[in-house]
Every structure is written in structure tokens, then in C-alpha cells.
Amino acid sequence: MFAMWDAYKEAGGGGRFSYISFASSAFIGTLGVIYSSVFTSFGILFGPVWLGIIGFIIGALIGKIFEKLMTNRYLEHV
């Protein structure tokens, strides 16, 4: 995820808080891999690959929300 963020930043994307979505995606994706052996949904065991991917997607969405909130709060105080 660091390599993806670095490439995104070097290509000119994002702003001051662009790292938040990448960091939260890595964190929640890692938690998904850790708990993949015990987490079931409707009796389905997703496994480390799918639960990691689902965690990355959920983490990216949560991170984008926090990024938008932080950007709006930062712009209000500038």
C-alpha cells in the first residue's frame, strides 16, 4: 500500500490527506487476513484472500470518507 500511495503521490494525485485512504485500507485489510480463519458470514468462510480483498475495499471507502472530512475541516480553518 505504501508503494501504491507513493506512485499516486508522484503522479500528482491527491492532496495533503491522501495517505489516509491507503493507510486505513492496509490496516483493515490486514485485520481481514488475521481474522479470516474465524470470521464467517451466513456460514461462509471467505478465507484470507477474499477477506483481505474485502477489507481493503472497506478500508479504502472508510479512508476516503475520513479524507473528505479532514479536507473540509482543514479548509474551514485556513
Residue-by-residue pLDDT tens, the chain, 78 positions = 888 888 888 888 777 888 888 999 999 999 999 998 888 889 888 888 999 999 999 999 999 999 888 888 766 665
pLDDT of residue 8: 86
Give SS3 for 65.
helix
Cα 56 to Cα 29: distance, rounded to the nearest angstrom: 4
Q: What is the pTM of this model?
A: 0.80
Instruction: Residue 8: count other Cβ atoms within 10 Å of its Cβ.
Output: 15
pLDDT of residue 19: 87
